[in-house]
Amino acid sequence: MYPTYTGTFGPTPLVVQCPKCGANVVTDTRPSPGTITFILACLLCCLPFCFARCQNVNHYCPDCKVYLATFLR
């Protein structure tokens, strides 16, 4: 079994060892709408869907594309 990153994932990419492929990689980050995005959308129409700072951030291994973690906003 490969050691995994035990720290906190944030909104920016970070170096981790992928638990699936074992490669040391910089995570691929992608924004995804979260609870805050939908709450703000009710108040501000669809504007929050246009801003990455209003969305959660999913971390993926760029080599094997496995999902690693989510940073919740």
Model confidence at 43, pLDDT cuts 50, 70, 90, reads: confident
Indicate yes or no: pTM above 0.95. Answer: no
pLDDT digits (tens, 9 = 90+) for 18-28: 988 989 999 99
| Whether the predicted pLDDT of 46 surpasses 50 | yes
pLDDT digits (tens, 9 = 90+) for 47-72: 767 777 778 899 999 999 999 988 88
Which alpha helices (H) appear in 1-73, and where do they start and end? 35-44
- Alpha carbon distances (Å) from 24 to 27, 41, 45, 53, 54: 9, 37, 41, 27, 29
| Whether the predicted pLDDT of 3 surpasses 70 | no
Q: How far apart are CA 36 and CA 29, in angstroms?
A: 18
